[in-house]
Structure formats: C-alpha cells, structure tokens
Amino acid sequence: MLVAPSLSEVGHSECIYSSYRDLISRQSETQQMEVLKEKVEEEEEAERAERAEKMMRPMEMRKEDTTRTQEMLRDLERKLSEIEVSIPEKPSTFTKDAIDTSKLPLSYQSNTPKEEHLLQVADNFSRQYSHLCPDRVPLFLYPVNECNVPKFVSTTIRPTLMPYPELYNWDTCAQFVSDFLSAVPLPDPLKPPSYLYSSTMVLKHQEGNCFDFSTLLCSVLLGAGYDAYCVYGYGSQDLCHMDLTREVCPLTVKPKEMVKEEEKAPPKKYAVKPPRDLTSRFEREQEVKRQEGVKAEEEKRLKQGELLAEQESAKTDPLHGLRVHSWVLVLSGKREVPESFFIDPFTARSYSTQDDHFLGIESLWNHKNYWVNMQDCWNCCKDLVFDLGDPVRWEYLLLETDKPLLSLTEEEDDGTNDDDDAENLGKEDEDKSFDMPCSWVERIEISPEAFETRCPNGKKVIQYKRARLEKWAPYLNNNGLVCRLTTYEDLECTKILEIKEWFQNREDMLELKHINKVTGLNIDYFKPGHPQALRVHSYTSMQPEMDRVMEFYEKVRVDGLIKREETPRTMTEYYQGRPDLLSYRHVNFGPRIKKLALNSAESNPRPVVKITERFFRNPAKPADEDVAERVFLILDERIQLRYHCREDHLTASKREFLWRTEGDSKGNKIIMTPDMCLSFEVEPMEHTKKLLYQYEAMMKLKNEEKLARHQAWESELEVLEILKLREEEEEAHALTISIYDTKRNEKSKEYREAMERMMHEEHLWQAEAQLDYLAPFLAQLPPGEKLTRWQAVRLKDECLSDFKQRLIDKANLIQARFEKETQELQKQQQWYQENQVTLTPEDEDLYLSYCSQAMFRIRVLEQRLNRHKELAPLKYLALEEKLYKDPRLVEVLKVFV
C-alpha cells in the first residue's frame, strides 16, 4: 500500500498561521456572545414595559373587554377568515431525495478497487496531516456524491473540450458557467460542504454552490488546454455572497483609446511662417497646473464621498477571514497565459493572485493530484508562491505529478553515492506505480438548446455599483432583446442616467439601442443588412425635420453616402468613393411659404436657400480647372467657385457668376457681359477670358444647380422614408429564424415532416409489393371472392410460367450482350490487322486499352450467363415450393401434393 508523503517539514510559519486563526475565531465568538446578550436584555426590558402597561390600565377598560358579545367575536372571526395570507415559496434547491439514483451509471453508485485504494491513501494522508498540524482545519478530500458514495475530489473533475467555439477561451467559459448556473450558499459558511455532486447533475439542475461551480469550470478549462486548479480557501463576504454592488460593471468601463501621433508634414520651403505667440509660456503652464489641481481635488472629494457612503452602508463582517469559498486558479505557461490569475466562478471575473478578496488557501487540486498549502497566509494570498513542484511550500498527495520537483544543491548532489541511487531507483519506481484513477463522472454534454438558453429560465439579473444588468435567452422576448444595462446616478439606483439594450436576430438588423435619459438622445446601432444600409441613427425625436444624424455603410449604397446630419434648417451629407468625387454637400433651407396642417417634403418642400458642395482632387485635371468647392446662392442668384490649389502655390483660383434672368421686361434677351463673371486666376489663360467659355460654364452650372436642388429634395424624401420604415420596424419587431433552426422554423419543420411521411408510406408500399408475389395475378379475379380449385391451379401455373419466361428472357439478354461484345471485339481486331502499319503509337495505345476493357466485359457476361444457368432451376423450384405453402393456395392445392 502506498504511504502518503510526511508533513515533517512544516515550519514556524504554520504555528503563526494557526495562532492567527485562533485569535480571529475567539474574537468572532466574543462578538457573537455580546450581540446575543444585548438582544436578551432588550427582550426582557420590552416584557417588563408591557406588564407595567397592563397593570396601569383602568378597571373600566377591563370591564369593557369582558362584556364583549358573541356577535362581535363572530364578526371578527368572519373578517379574519376573509384575509388571504400568501406564503412565500422557498427557492427550489435540488437535494439527494430529489435525485433518482437508480438511473445513474454504476460508477456513480460504487467505487472501483483503484478508487478504494486511493481513498485509503487519502485517509492515511489526512490522519498524518491532522497529527502534524492539529491547529488547521480538516482537508476537503473525499466528500460524498449524489449517491452517498465517497469520491476523491480529483476524480470528480472531468476534463472535457466542448464542441462550441465560444467555449474555447477562459473568459467565455467562465461567463457561460456563471450565467448557466444559479448560486446556492453553503450550508455552513465556515465549513466546506460534506457533499460534491457530479458536473452532469449540476448541469441538469442548473444550480450549485461555489465548489460545484469551480469543479465544472475547471473541467471545461482543462479540456480547453488551460493549467487550471480548483482552490479551497477563504474569501471576502462580497465574494462568497456574489455581491457586486461595490464593483463597477465591466460594460460601463470605457476602453482606453490609443492616441495615434499624427505625422507632421515637412514644412514647405516657401510657406508663410505663423505669427509669433506673444503669450507667456510660464503663465500657460501655471494655468494648466491650476486646472489639473482643481480637477484632481474635485475627483478626490467625490471619491471620498463615495467611500464614506459605502462605508456607512457596508456592515463589518464578524466572520471576516473565516468564510469558506472555492474558486479556480489558472497557472501561466499553457495556452500562452503570461501570468497566473484567479477566476471567481460566481461572477466570471478574473483577479490577480494578490487581490484582497482572497484571504487564504488551504488546498488545491486538479484531475491528476492534490496539493496542500504549507505557506503562511497572514498577508492573504499576496505572498504565496504557486510553484507546485516545491514540496516545502506545497505538500502533494501522490508522487505521480507532472510538476518538476526542485533539484538538489550541488553539495548534496556530490555527496550522494551512486550505489545508493541504484538501490533507491527500484523503490521510487514502486512508489510511482500508483496514479490517479479516471474520473467517475460521465462526459459533460451541453445540448444546443441549453447552450442557447444560458440563464436558468432564460433570465438573469446582476446588480452592480450604480448599474443593473439583465440578461435574456435569444427568442425569449418578442423584440429580440437579450441584454439591458441600466446606469444610475446615485448609489441607491433611483435616478436613471442611461439605458443600453442589445438585440439579436432582428430583421431590421438592430444590434444596440443607447438611450440617454438626461439629454433625451437615442442612438441605434445596426449590423450590415438593413434595407436602407443604416449603420448608426442618432435622434431625439422620430418626427421629421428635427436634429438627427444618420450613418450608412458606404460600400452598400450606390451614391457613396457615409453620413447625413439634419437640423430644422440645414442638411449636411458626406460622401466617399463617388465617380464625380463629391465629398460634401451642405443645404440651407428657408421657412415654408405655405402653412399646411401636415408639412412634408413631398407636398410642401422646404425652400432651398444655399447649397455648398465640395470635391476631392481629381489628378486627371489641372488644379486650376478642378473645382474644390462650389456654392449656389439661390436667393442672390450667384454661383461661387473655388478651385484646388497647386502644390507650389499659396492661393487658389476663384470665380463667381452673377446669375440673371434671360430677358428683360420687354422680352429682349440679355447678352453675356464681362461683369457677370468675376474671377481671380493664379495663372490667367486666354481661353478663360472669352465670353463664350464663361457663358458655357455658366449654363453648365445652371444645370448643376437644378440637379443639386433635386438631390436635396430626394434626400428629404429618403429621410421621411427611413423614419417611416423605422416606425414600422419598431412596431413589428420581427425576428429572423435560421434555416438550420428546425425547431423554430415552421416552414422547414412542415417540409421535413411531409418528407418523412412520404418516405414512410413509400417504404410500406415497397415492402408490401415485395412480399405479395401473387398480387398481379389476384388482381385479375373479382375482389372478395373465394378461390376455387381450378382458379388456384391456374394461378399457380400462370405464376410459374411467367417466372420461367422472365428467367429465359434474362438468359437471352445476357447472351445477346455477350454476342454483341464479341462481334465488336472481332471487328476491332480485323481493323487493327488491316491498318497496323499506318497506326501511330497513340492509336495503338487506344486499341490495346479497348481490347482489355472488352475482354473484361466479355468475361463478366460469361460468368453471369453461367451463374444464371446454374441458379435458374433452383429459383424455379423455390418459387414452386412457396406457391404450395402459400396460405391462400395451400387448402385448395392439398389434393395435388
């Protein structure tokens, strides 16, 4: 029998740790006794006061009490009977009585000889540990399972790689376990549980304590390739009770933005120098320091106020440092984990190994071994070294461990004798012959339905500091809502600041809705696939001609629109990737002339006052002819143009056209004059000064103005169409169902059921047709009529003759194919003899391949013909015997047998 390693190397640190634990326990006991004494004294004082009041009552009140009639008592009894008292239901927790152990596998109900051997080793180790460390609490080694059978904790871990890609990283695994299970407190917060159920049973009932959470999470992480361990130790009250009201919600923490340093363009040789800054640099620095100091003091004051409020609301925990908790340790090394860290399975949050929430560790284990912490935890877990190969810091149960043990020093290595090493080699091999048995738990399986549902009953609520997080399963809400984060202004969570809602499977591709209750701003975020290619929609009201911003997926839209900003009097659009290189359009509207009850862009459009358009640089054109910006001043009848600036120039060319009507009051046409075009050219050219060139440019700009006004009108109509579509989508909030979701997709479900029904009917028909070989002949007789002796003989003869003819036809068919193949081969051979001299090597190869294939077919046909000749008489006799034994003919054909 294997003897567990001794614990003789326990040092002075263990004595300090045990005395510290005793001191804490004695303090907690004295505090509890003082509280009980105060309660007893208060109750005694209340009883004395009641007795004094009764003695001071006047005699008249006592007489009135005794003279109550029977009718008053009946009325009182009737009124009391009408009051309905609702008894609150206790939370449903599964116990051993609720588990049907008869349906569990044999490994759950009994132990193998190897497991019994391991339990003996663990019991021996526990007795040695209790003898050498009497001040420490007993180890958590072999609790009972759901069948009341003791099982070693390491064998309860079942490493399993889940078939879902989402459960491959540690954060998603921890989040799934936290969401899928409901937390149940330990029966005794100062002791570990006396039972540890299997992960399959915990998943089935979707609830468990911290040890159940840790076991399941460790099993999944080990299957995913992490170096994970279950930890038995002590945690803070917030950690043990899953209290996150002092923690900040991770969804409210904004990620740090990486500020990219813009590369400064090299200064131009002839660039104009900026004017000198005559302000004092010292004064600016002092002002910045003063503002930073004021800001820091304000933040410090707010933090102090929050800390004071939290300290007033928080109560001191009398059991601080004694509350038992279990969590998961992930060591660095595997899966490229750079640093070891803790995972709280209740909240799925990761913590540093030096976090103040974790107050001490008793032991830890995985599916291979069990380690006891021999280090002092006076400073919580901050000074612990997680080198499991160090037997001084971590005492292991089994010698078989994958952790490398600390090597001996050089002096000890030199002093050892080779002969002693050779003698001890066999002993070490004998000691290491025993390894950890396989897990008794069945393979952990999560159905797709359970994985999709996640939370128990499809809903889970988590309360954070100034935030409330609600989660739902997909398709549980009609509008596709799966998550809602409500942020509050105060710690009591009474004043709402903002609401964030996440959606899934929406037909309108809505992904996130952000509602700011202070400003009234609503922001909708969409995934690709919206009918109008919407990406973001910011608005304060769904009414038209209000402040709003729309962002689009530019690769989907034909016009290349990226963003549209609208106010009651303006509309700004940004473009990218257009063939005309348009990048910006700004439209100014004037007040409506007509005042209708329902103003709309289609019936009563807003008058356009000004249109400003900007363009990207077109390298195919000279800079003096490439328009950078053009402004249509419609009321002033003017058009302003500004061209792109050359790289070696400081100013750009400009041109302004004064638009006039084509005729005067008498109907005479106005001739183009030089004063109708005002221009500034960097390098004047002759053709630009001609009136014909200016007239053609002005006529072209007139058409461009009409087109720009028409596009502005179309943009207004598109805004109205998008708003109408969004109202319809919010009212309908239809959800999409995948074609692979056979349970929710009604069309695919109906089609599948119809196909299964047709296949079943076809199978039955084929089975009946194969069995009833007399069906074609019985169909010739009247239905329901009893067969006569003459009819039965005729049926038998017709069936045999028909079968004989089929055998003959099959033989003739095989013979005909055999003769045809033989004749074609002979023809090819004759052709080869005649043209052998003139054939090319390719033709000869084709001839040889044909001959080999033809000979193969001929041999197959010959074998089939011979086999048919052998089996045909036997098949004929077998059919004749079946006919004589057929229940429909046997009575009539008895005479002829």
The whole-number pLDDT of residue 67 equals 46
The whole-number pLDDT of residue 257 equals 56
The whole-number pLDDT of residue 8 equals 37
Q: Which pLDDT tens digit goes with each residue over 339-379?
A: 999 999 999 999 999 999 999 999 999 999 999 999 998 88
Cβ atoms of residues 814 and 868 within 8 Å: yes
Residues 717 and 786 in one domain: no
Residues 780 and 857 in one domain: yes
Instruction: Report DSSP state, residue 303.
Output: H
The whole-number pLDDT of residue 813 equals 93
Q: Which helix (H) or strand (E) holds 640?
A: strand 638-643
Closest to 236 (Cα-Cα) out of 338, 148, 360, 332 = 360
* Residue 768 binned pLDDT confidence (cut-offs 50, 70, 90): low
Sorted by sequence, the CB contacts under 8 Å of residue 674 that are 6+ apart come out as: 691
Give the lowest-confidence range in 290-299, 768-777, 846-855.
768-777
Integer Cα distance of 524 and 501 in angstroms: 10
The whole-number pLDDT of residue 599 equals 46
For residue 474, being part of any structural domain is answered with: no
The whole-number pLDDT of residue 610 equals 94
Residues 612 and 718 in one domain: yes
Integer Cα distance of 306 and 817 in angstroms: 99
Residues 814 and 884 in one domain: yes
Angle between helices 170-180 and 210-223 (to 10 degrees): 150
For residue 478, being part of any structural domain is answered with: no
Residues 721 and 826 in one domain: no
Residues 576 and 639 in one domain: yes
Angle between helices 841-885 and 789-834 (to 10 degrees): 170
Identify the residue with better confidence: 196 or 31: 196
Residues 699 and 783 in one domain: no
pTM confidence score: 0.66
Domain span holding position 328: 114-251+317-396
Q: Residue 477 class from Cβ within 10 Å (0-12 exposed, 13-18 middle, 19+ buried)? A: middle
Sorted by sequence, the CB contacts under 8 Å of residue 191 that are 6+ apart come out as: 137, 324
Residues 198 and 121 in one domain: yes
For residue 586, being part of any structural domain is answered with: yes
Most confident range, picked from 226-230, 685-689, 702-706: 226-230
CATH code of the domain containing 181? 3.10.620
Residues 711 and 807 in one domain: no
For residue 324, being part of any structural domain is answered with: yes
Q: Which helix (H) or strand (E) holds 283?
A: helix 281-313
For residue 645, being part of any structural domain is answered with: yes
The whole-number pLDDT of residue 409 equals 40
For residue 582, being part of any structural domain is answered with: yes
Q: Which pLDDT tens digit goes with each residue over 229-285?
A: 999 999 999 899 988 888 888 888 776 655 555 666 676 667 677 788 788 888 889
Q: What percent of the chain has pLDDT over 90?
A: 48
Q: Is 723 a residue whose pLDDT tops 80?
A: yes
What backbone phi and psi angles, to 5 degrees, belong to 750? -65, -40
Sorted by sequence, the CB contacts under 8 Å of residue 530 that are 6+ apart come out as: 508, 509
Q: Which pLDDT tens digit goes with each residue over 628-653?
A: 999 999 988 899 999 999 887 888 88
Residues 713 and 814 in one domain: no
H-type helices in 57-197, by residue range? 59-66, 70-82, 106-109, 113-132, 153-156, 170-180
Of 396, 422, 446, which marks where a domain is finished? 396
For residue 527, being part of any structural domain is answered with: yes
The whole-number pLDDT of residue 671 equals 67
Cβ atoms of residues 593 and 607 within 8 Å: yes
Q: How far is CA 874 from the centre of its chain?
A: 67
For residue 793, being part of any structural domain is answered with: yes
Beta bridge partners of 232: 326, 363
Q: Please tell me the total count of domains within the chain.
A: 3
Average pLDDT for residues 27-35, to the nearest whole number? 49
Q: Is 774 a residue whose pLDDT tops 80?
A: no
Integer Cα distance of 461 and 472 in angstroms: 9
Sorted by sequence, the CB contacts under 8 Å of residue 352 that are 6+ apart come out as: 341, 342
Q: Is 165 a residue whose pLDDT tops 50?
A: yes
Q: Is 64 a residue whose pLDDT tops 50?
A: no
Of 379, 396, 413, which marks where a domain is finished? 396
Of 340, 370, 396, which marks where a domain is finished? 396
* Residue 617 binned pLDDT confidence (cut-offs 50, 70, 90): very high
Closest to 105 (Cα-Cα) out of 200, 196, 181, 194 = 200
Residues 692 and 568 in one domain: yes
Residues 237 and 332 in one domain: yes
Strand, helix or coil for residue 534? strand
Q: Is 467 a residue whose pLDDT tops 80?
A: yes
Closest to 579 (Cα-Cα) out of 562, 565, 558, 596 = 558
Query: Structure tokens of 896?
Result: 């002829």
Q: Is 764 a residue whose pLDDT tops 90?
A: no
Q: Which pLDDT tens digit goes with each residue over 863-881?
A: 999 999 999 999 889 888 8
